[in-house]
Amino acid sequence: MFLTVLILGTVLGGTYALLALGLTLQYGIARIMNLAYGEVTLVAAFFLVWAFQGLNLSPVLSILLLTPAGYGAGWLLYAVMMRPLVKRSGASGRLEVDSILATFGLLFLLQGLLLITFGPNFTSISYLDQGVDILGVSVSANRLIAFVICVVAGAGLLLVLTRTRWGLSLRAVALSPGSAPLVGIDVNRVARQGFALGTALAATAGGALAMYQTFSATEGVIITMKALVIVIMGGKGNVGGALVAGLALGLIETFVATAIDPGLTLAATFAIFLLVLLWRPQGLFGRN
């Protein structure tokens, strides 16, 4: 029982961590709190299901397509929708409220489009769902593949952020957008790239989620909530913290669902969120 929770929780936590990474990139670099994040994830998830059922496209291939498509979509979204808001707010504190409200509108827009196209029912695919034995726990193969994809995407991102010049400029803008121009960084361009990178991760995580989880068009809000809770637990803009917190949330949620009541997973998530906010508002791994 303990081992089952540990293994299934880690697999779920991998997807959560990737989701949270994308959101923390968008908030940390582009300064946009994207409340439509979960809907973007769902668009990718529905695409994967549609491609698998309609075109017989392998889900792994789908995800390889989704990641660059997500980057492009995020790039466009920032250029068309977010940039005017950033420009208008200038140095005043308006951007936070404006971006929340605008992405809130985007949330409904995407949700409505998904509802019209795919209907309100729960969807899932059956792809490689035979069990694989790991330390005596049977885990379905699709979960493992999804987990591997999340690990590869997360590790790739970490490498880019820490080892490349591009990653350095992304981190510079996240750390201090005011002084980044002094060293020749085009903040607007980097913010757009950060937002696009976050969307690419959302699309990847959405594809991974669709491989093993049932989902419906109205679930985006819950995905956003969970990603936000993880981001705040890990500390805003803290990549390593988001990874650890994502895994932790996956474990806690699996534990609550198996040991207490599946109806209380969100309540548990929320209780943790509140505890972290009261005890360490800067996040478990954040600095003051």
Partner 1 sequence: MRVIAISLVALIALALVPLVASDYQIGLLIGLATYVTLATAWSLFSGHTRYISLATVAFYGIGAYTVAVLNETLPYPIVLLVAGLVGAVVALLVGLSTLRLSGVYFVIFTFGLAELVRQLITWYEVNVTGTLGRYIFLDITAREIYWQMLALGAVTIALAAYIQRRRLGLALRVIGDDETVASHAGINLAQTKLLAFVLSAILLTLAGAIVSPRWVYVEPSIVFNPTVSFLTVIMALLGGANRLWGPALGAVPLFLVFEWLSADFPDTYPIIMGLLFIGVVFLLPNGVIAGLESLRNKWTRQT
Give the residues lining the site for partner 1 (CB under 8 A): 33, 35, 81, 84-85, 88, 93-94, 96-98, 100-102, 104-113, 115-116, 221-222, 225, 228, 232, 261, 263-264, 266-267, 270, 273-274, 277-278, 281
Cβ atoms 225, 41 nearer than 8 A: no
Compute the least distance from the CB of residue 2 to partner 1, in Å. 24
Q: Which is nearer to partner 1, 26 or 142 (CB)?
A: 26
Compute the least distance from the CB of residue 62 to partner 1, in Å. 26
Query: Which helix (H) or strand (E) element contains residue 48?
Result: helix 37-54
Compute the least distance from the CB of residue 278 to partner 1, in Å. 6
Q: Which is nearer to partner 1, 129 or 261 (CB)?
A: 261
Cβ atoms 110, 220 nearer than 8 A: yes
Q: Which is nearer to partner 1, 153 or 245 (CB)?
A: 245
Compute the least distance from the CB of residue 230 to partner 1, in Å. 12
Cβ atoms 202, 22 nearer than 8 A: yes
Q: Which is nearer to partner 1, 117 or 164 (CB)?
A: 117
Exposure class string for 145-177: b at 16+ Cβ within 10 A, else e:
bbbebbeebbeebeeebeeeeebebbbbbbeeb
Cα separation, 188 vs 3, whole angstroms: 47
Q: Estimate to the nearest angstrom the gap between the alpha carbon of 249 and the chain centroid.
A: 13
Compute the least distance from the CB of residue 182 to partner 1, in Å. 26
Q: Which is nearer to partner 1, 204 or 254 (CB)?
A: 254
Q: Residue written as tokens 């979204």?
A: 77
How many other CB atoms are found less than 10 A from the CB of residue 119? 11
Compute the least distance from the CB of residue 148 to partner 1, in Å. 31
Q: Which is nearer to partner 1, 108 or 166 (CB)?
A: 108
- List the alpha helices (DSSP H) in 119-164: 141-163
Cβ atoms 231, 244 nearer than 8 A: no
| DSSP letter string, 168-216 | HHHHHHHH-TTTGGGGT--HHHHHHHHHHHHHHHHHHHHHHHHHH--B-
Cα-based distances in Å from 68 to 74, 203, 208, 243, 284: 10, 9, 15, 22, 32
Q: Which is nearer to partner 1, 55 or 278 (CB)?
A: 278
Compute the least distance from the CB of residue 140 to partner 1, in Å. 28
